[in-house]
Amino acid sequence: MDIIRNFPAIAILLCLFAGIFSSGLKEKAAGLVNSCLIVIEIGLNLATLLYTISLGDSFVYVMGKFPAPWGNELRVGVLEALLALFFCVIMFLSMWGGKHKLKDEVDPEKTFLYYVLLDLLLSSLLALIYTNDLFTAYVFVEINTISACGLIMIRQNGRTIEAAVRYMIMSLLGSGLLLLGICMLYDMTGHLLMSNIHEAILTIVAEGQYTIPLLIMIALISVGLAIKSALFPFHAWLPDAYGYSTVSAAAILSSLVSKGYIFLLIKIMYRVVGIDIFRNSHITDILFLFGLMGMIFGSLSAIRENDVRRMIAFSSVAQIGYIYMGFGMGTEAGMVASIFHILSHAATKSLLFIAAIGLTEVSDGKRQFIYLTGSGYRNKMSGVTFTVGSLAMVGVPLFSGFISKLLFSQAAILNHGKMLPAMIVLAISTILNAIYFMKTVIRIYTPVPNSPYPPMDLREHWRYATALFLFIVLNVVLGVFSDPIVRLISNGLAMLG
């Protein structure tokens, strides 16, 4: 089965070619190519995941047969394959769930561009996950940014263009810092491949050289990627970008794009700098602090919000705070919790966006809470799904959010210095989550006699209903069968180091 070793490279190249190919196609054909592409990607990544599990170890794919210090490499372990598979599944469900809205949201003549951008986005995400070369990672970070910006602004109104500009400015600040960090790293070590850099860094640290540049480099890269993934003080662009773009784009942006950067940061922590050196630099404490602040302020902003999609967007800020809090603990348990939360947040947030669109649709397209009253009765499937998503976000057992909160608390208990603040903020944030999500659930299940808006015919929208159903299944699977997934994640982390 050695042919599977080629699958990650094929997966990345296939997306790029599909993007180029789709740019010459009509709307329908481009959509078909996109759907087929994502299905093929799911197959390829599933095969890779099974192969790495059976192999019990990671493997390196050498691009173009140039050996180590010169060539470009992909590195595939269990964790990478798991995340790639998961991202493809989420992307497929988000696309499926938002497809019926697409014709209202995007100019029909430009719809093919939407699919081109999606193909490119997927390729950059896969490349960020699999690459073993820092400069390649930088280039794909930029491709990711550009295609995400295109996805935000493809729905043409003033808000989205402004949001796209704000997103670009923040992203460019982040990638400037990242690029400078990578250049400094190259100057210190003379390598661009992650494994070679790591060896060089170990010698540098052992000899006690370059202590200050090393610290500055770690700070630059962490802050750069934190800005790009919308950690708390850098989230100003996020509510508009997620709130006004097309629904599939919002689901994909919130659940996948920021996670791509976060995973790159994990790889840099483990494979480039080394987790011990990273922890000793105390950058983790800063990430911990900002994570805690994000958890509280994101939820507070969400409570104040009167627009359901912007509320979900603000909740993302809080959830990203959780992930960085896990990094900040600096322990393996914290990291496992963060990675599980990446999965659980991706599954839940895209579900909420897709479900919210069904609720607003039966409320004359209005998104303010006052119009949503009773919409859970008019669109039963969306109501149920939104409730499931809310329960998962709050952390009720059976759903994915419970497991991630459990893992975070366990990790906090193991870390004596940070136990108290982490536990207190977790509790406060859970209560705040419960306030705004339960408020919405009660609102959509408050009956209104003689509602002026017609209910949604689910038979007509079978595709949407199936996507919602699959989202619920995914959430419950993550919540109930979490043990094997957590074991996979810790195995994958061990392979990363």
Partner 1 sequence: MGANLLANYGEAVAMILFAIGFGNLLIQKNLIKKIIGLNIMDSAVYLFLAEKGYVNGRIAPIVVDGVQSVEAYINPVPSGLVLTGIVVSVSVTALMLSLTIRLYMRYHTLNLDEISTQLRKEGL
Query: Residues interacting with partner 1, by CB under 8 A?
Result: 135, 138-139, 142, 145-146, 149, 153, 157-159, 161-162, 164-166, 168-169, 172-173, 176-177, 179-180, 183, 186-187, 190, 192, 244
Instruction: Output the six-digit token pair for 278.
Output: 């990273």
203 vs 368, beta carbon nearer partner 1: 368
Q: Smallest distance, Å, CB 236 to partner 1?
A: 10
> What's the CA gap between 273 and 254, in Å, rounded?
28
Smallest gap, in angstroms, from Cβ of residue 262 to partner 1?
Answer: 21
Amino acid at site 423: M
Instruction: Report the residue number, 213 or 421, with the smaller CB distance to partner 1.
Output: 213
Tokens 């990094």 belong to residue? 327
Please report how close the Cβ of residue 69 comes to partner 1 at its closest, in angstroms.
10
- The residue (of 132 and 433) whose beta carbon lies closer to partner 1 is 132
Count Cβ atoms within 10 A of the Cβ of residue 332 and give its class: 0-12 exposed, 13-18 middle, 19 or more buried.
middle
Nearer Cβ to partner 1, position 191 or 267? 191
Query: C-beta of 244: minimal distance to partner 1 in Å?
Result: 8
CB of 173 to partner 1, least distance (A): 6
- CB nearer to partner 1: give 179 or 458: 179
Closer by beta carbon to partner 1, 24 or else 176: 176
In the Cβ-directed half-sphere of 119, how many Cα atoms lie within 13 Å? Answer: 26
SS3 per-residue string spanning 58-93: CEEEEECCCCCCCCEEEEECHHHHHHHHHHHHHHHH
CA distance 145 to 150: 9
26: enclosing H helix or E strand: none
In the complex with partner 1, which residue's Cβ is closer, 49 or 149? 149
Minimum distance between the CB of residue 204 and partner 1, rounded to whole angstroms?
Answer: 16
Question: Nearest distance from residue 146's CB to partner 1, in Å?
Answer: 6
Cβ 328 vs Cβ 289: under 8 Å: yes
Cα pseudo-dihedral 355, 361, 363, 365, rounded to 10: 120
Please, what's the b/e burial string for 380-404 (b: 16 or more CB within 10 A of its CB; e: otherwise)? Answer: ebbbebbbbbbbbbbbeeebbbbbb
The Cα–Cα gap between 269 and 222 comes to: 9
- For the CA atoms of 49, 134, 141, 324, the dihedral, rounded to the nearest 10 degrees, stands at 70
Nearer to partner 1, 81 or 177 (CB): 177
Cβ atoms 440, 383 nearer than 8 A? no
Q: How far is the CB of 198 from partner 1 (least distance, A)?
A: 18
